[in-house]
Amino acid sequence: MLLFLLAAGLSLMFGLMGIVNLAHGSYFMVGAYVGLSILEATGSFLLALLAAAASGALLGFLTERFFMRRLYGLRHHEPILLTFALSLILSDFSLFLWTGTPRWVQTPSLLAFCVNIVGSPYPTYRLALILVGIIVFFVLYWFQEKTRWGAMVRAGVDDKEMATGFGINIPMVFTTVFCLGAFLAGFGGFIGAPILGVHIGLDIEIIMLALAVVIVGGIGSLPGCLATCLLLGLADTFGKVLWPDFASLTIYVILVIVLLVRPSGLFGKGR
């Protein structure tokens, strides 16, 4: 579910702008770090969460405004390399500010207990995460399908030039989507922190998974993204139980198979 928050933003950006944003994992990590600092300073989980998401959005805004905007219309590899460079910088920046010690965020006391589901205990915090993921999915879905803004975004995804022709301010839409995606990443980074921890290198781990989800699910497709998160999550868990030695492979093997059999993704539009 956590992955969904991240991948949804990435997928949206990818679909709309044709940009693979490798700095997306960095928003996730920096969001987690900012949230952690605010939590330590104020003690308020909610405030920390807001700050984390806001820091993600801010980074996204800066990335789009100062770097990506210069590169629209170029071939794929320049944005990829640029965002990769950005992620390197952000990673070292985090190392500088927060040092390399792995940190943990305490689960908020309100949710720090377990409930029994079908006889086995399950931490409430994880349940809450699943709930948040579902809510975000519906909000995004509603935003994309039912609102005027969503229509503009979809128009941008389908045909940039035509949308511009209808008087839609595409650069504006781009900035918004970028911020939204980064907002979700920062948000996800912090609410994921009690489970994943916060450490340098988190950015790379998470971006690889998110990319896999986006590709397998189909670029720009929200339901695809959600379904794939569930699929890959399940596959990963089963993989760990069934063949522990090869568990780290499971997701990438699925990625390879999907790329070869159906490159547009499970839920992608056919080519």
Positions that interact with another protein (CB under 8 A): 20, 67, 70-71, 76-78, 80-82, 84-89, 91-93, 95-96, 204, 208, 211-212, 215, 245-249, 252-253, 255-256, 259-260, 263
β 120-123/114-117 pair status: antiparallel
At its nearest, how many Å lie between another protein and the CB of residue 200?
10
Could you give the CA distance from residue 177 to residue 185 in angstroms, rounded to a whole number? Answer: 12
Could you give the CA distance from residue 52 to residue 199 in angstroms, rounded to a whole number? Answer: 15
The dihedrals phi and psi of 116, each to the nearest 5 degrees, come to -95, 120
Judged by beta carbon, residue 113 or residue 246, the one nearer another protein is 246
Judged by beta carbon, residue 42 or residue 237, the one nearer another protein is 237
Residue with tokens 């940009």: 19
Could you give the CA distance from residue 68 to residue 54 in angstroms, rounded to a whole number? Answer: 20
Facing residues of 103 across strands?
A: 198
At its nearest, how many Å lie between another protein and the CB of residue 63?
11
At its nearest, how many Å lie between another protein and the CB of residue 116?
34
Judged by beta carbon, residue 22 or residue 180, the one nearer another protein is 22
Judged by beta carbon, residue 121 or residue 201, the one nearer another protein is 201
At its nearest, how many Å lie between another protein and the CB of residue 240?
12
Judged by beta carbon, residue 185 or residue 215, the one nearer another protein is 215
Judged by beta carbon, residue 48 or residue 82, the one nearer another protein is 82
The residues, any chain, with a CB within 8 Å of residue 70's CB and separated by 6 or more, are none
Structure tokens at 72: 């629209």
Q: Are 99 and 199 in contact (CB under 8 A)?
A: no
Judged by beta carbon, residue 30 or residue 54, the one nearer another protein is 30
Could you give the CA distance from residue 16 to residue 153 in angstroms, rounded to a whole number? Answer: 7
At its nearest, how many Å lie between another protein and the CB of residue 148?
30
At its nearest, how many Å lie between another protein and the CB of residue 162?
23
Sign of CA dihedral 220, 221, 224, 226: positive
At its nearest, how many Å lie between another protein and the CB of residue 84?
7
